[in-house]
Amino acid sequence: METFIKSLPKVELHIHIEGSLEPELLFMLAKRNHIALPYDSPESLRQAYKFADLQSFLDLYYQGANTLINEQDFYDLTWAYIERCKEQNVIHTEIFFDPQTHTDRGIEFDTVVAGIYQALEDASCQFGISSNLIMCFLRHLSEEAAFETLQEAARHKDKIIAVGLDSSELGHPPEKFSRVFQKARELGFFTVAHAGEEGPAQNIVDAIELLGVSRIDHGVRCTDSEELVDYLIERKMPLTVCPLSNIELRVFNSMSEHNIVDLLRKGLCVTVNSDDPAYFGGYMTENLLAVHKALPMTKLELAQLTINAIDSSFISVANKLKFKELVWHYLAENHH
Ligand code: HPA
Ligand code: ZN
């Protein structure tokens, strides 16, 4: 089964590129950019990755992002993630980036986009890995700041497929950004939002009704309301679930208590994703292996996770069909 999981074609829909910054690359960038770090080695930094909740993670995540300065840094960051995708047979990925984390430090929006986008173009040319880019607003910042960021994104409409909403969920509900998201949809962006990770099930309802989202990022708190679970099934609303993240940030006490496999078997369109792989102990394969170890699935169920992600992605109908054929073929060839 381990071999089946490793070679299974995968699609990732919830990965923060800043969260793929491994301690070794972080140290290399700090040196290149003459930035002092409060840790003496990548190992001692990794030792500090023990989180009590979302906020304690975010504090370290934003600190790590401070080592990203030049276009080349954003390229190197993205390329390192793409190499993991290649190793793990990720055929398509939809990547979040947090421009405000960088523009608030005086880095140009264009610098961030240029570095990430060049790496994604090279990924397509060299490895045939397809991708889309999703810009996230930091929800702890103001509506006004989000509007300014949306204006910058509009200049890069050709490179950015959707807008999302991340950072501290508690105290910053979806309604704070309903006008920004309405404007984003008018501009032709798809929308997604983190909801029901640490925050209540109501945030999931509000993200759908007030923000017009095509997917819910996390959404695992939906099981607080049986009615909401039925509504998500009926609406075929995808959830981009991040199992290792949920354990590391204590959304669930252990993987065996995670609700993802229950939700899958109920018919919810759930997907498996890595969120911030450098901080939470792994990429797509590690997430799938960790879920399967605690909550064994059939090969068909594992393949269904990729099919769900393909159906939930922002690619053309023709490409969805092409990717699904790859998965069906893989399943047929490896069923026994
Ligand atoms: N939740 C909210 N914001 C984030 C996350 C997350 O899991 N990862 C990076 N930014
Ligand atoms: Zn996330």
Structural domains for the chain? 2-330 (3.20.20.140)
Q: What is the pLDDT of residue 130?
A: 98
What is residue 212's predicted lDDT score, i.e. its pLDDT?
98
pLDDT at 336 over 80: no
Decide if 143 is catalytic: no
CA 290 to the chain's CA centroid: 17
Listing DSSP states for 121-148 in one string gives HHHHHHH--EEEEEEEEETTS-HHHHHH
| pLDDT tens figures, 171-188 | 999 999 999 999 999 999
Encoded amino acid at 120, one letter: L
Residue 194 is labelled as binding a ligand: yes
DSSP assigned state of 208: H
Q: Look over the chain and give the mean of its residue pLDDT values, rounded to a whole number.
A: 98
Residue-wise pLDDT for 110-133, tens only, equals 999 999 999 999 999 999 999 999
Mean pLDDT of 235-261: 98
Give the residue, by CA position, lying nearest to ligand 1 atom 10.
167
Tokens 């190793």 belong to residue = 87
Q: Which atom of ligand 1 approaches the CA of 276 most closely?
A: 8
pLDDT reading at 199 higher than 80? yes
Element (H, E) at 332: helix 317-333
Q: Ligand 1, residues 13, 20, 54, 203: which to mutate, most atoms within 8 A of Cβ? A: 54
CA 275 to chain centre: 4
Distances (CA, A) of 2 to 16, 172, 212: 26, 40, 38
Average pLDDT of 65-89? 98
Percentage of the residues of the chain whose pLDDT score is greater than 70: 100
Give the integer Cα–Cα distance in Å for 209 and 2: 40
Residues facing 191 on adjacent strands: 163
Taking CA atoms, 199 is separated from 66, 168, 232, 233, in Å, by 27, 9, 17, 20
The rounded radius of gyration (Å) of the Cα atoms in the chain is: 19
The pLDDT of residue 154 is above 80: yes
> Is 276 annotated among the ligand-binding residues?
yes
Ligand nearest to the CA of 217: 2
- The SS3 call for residue 164 is strand
CB 164 within 8 A of CB 194: yes
User: Which pairing describes strands 90-97 and 190-195: parallel, antiparallel, or unpaired?
Assistant: unpaired
Instruction: Fill in the DSSP letter of residue 331.
Output: H
- Look at residue 270 and give its three-state secondary structure: strand
DSSP code, position 173: -
- 329 CA → ligand 2 middle, Å: 31
Closest Cα partner for 56 from 249, 254, 202, 281? 249
Give residue-wise pLDDT tens across range 265-292. Answer: 999 999 999 999 999 999 999 999 999 9
- Asked if 218 contacts 270 with a C-beta cutoff of 8 angstroms, the reply is no
Residue 167 Cα: closest atom of ligand 1: 3
Q: How far is the centre of ligand 2, averaged over its atoms, from the C-alpha of 21 (Å)?
A: 14
For residue 249, give the amino acid letter. L
From 22, 197, 198, 248, the catalytic residue: 197
Residue 166 has what pLDDT?
A: 98
**pLDDT value of residue 335:** 85
Q: What is the pLDDT of residue 58?
A: 97
Residues with CB under 6 A from ligand 1: 16, 19, 54, 61, 166-167, 194, 197, 245, 275-276
Q: What is the model's pTM?
A: 0.98
Q: pLDDT-based confidence at 170, cuts 50/70/90?
A: very high
Tokens 């959404």 correspond to 219
Closest atom of ligand 1 relative to the 61 alpha carbon: 9
Residue nearest to atom 4 of ligand 1 (CA): 167
Do the annotations mark residue 16 as ligand-binding? yes
> What does the pLDDT read at residue 237?
98
Residue nearest to atom 7 of ligand 1 (CA): 275
243 in Cβ contact with 274 (< 8 Å): no
Confidence of residue 91 (pLDDT cuts 50, 70, 90): very high
Q: Is 53 annotated as a binding residue?
A: no
- Residue 34 alpha carbon to ligand 2 centre in Å: 29
Ligand 2 centroid from CA 20, angstroms: 11
Q: If you measure from the C-alpha of residue 168 to the centroid of ligand 2, how many angstroms do you get, rounded to a whole number?
A: 10
C-alpha separations of 242 from 159, 207, 325 in Å: 25, 18, 25
Q: Phi, psi (5° rounding) for residue 195? A: -160, 140
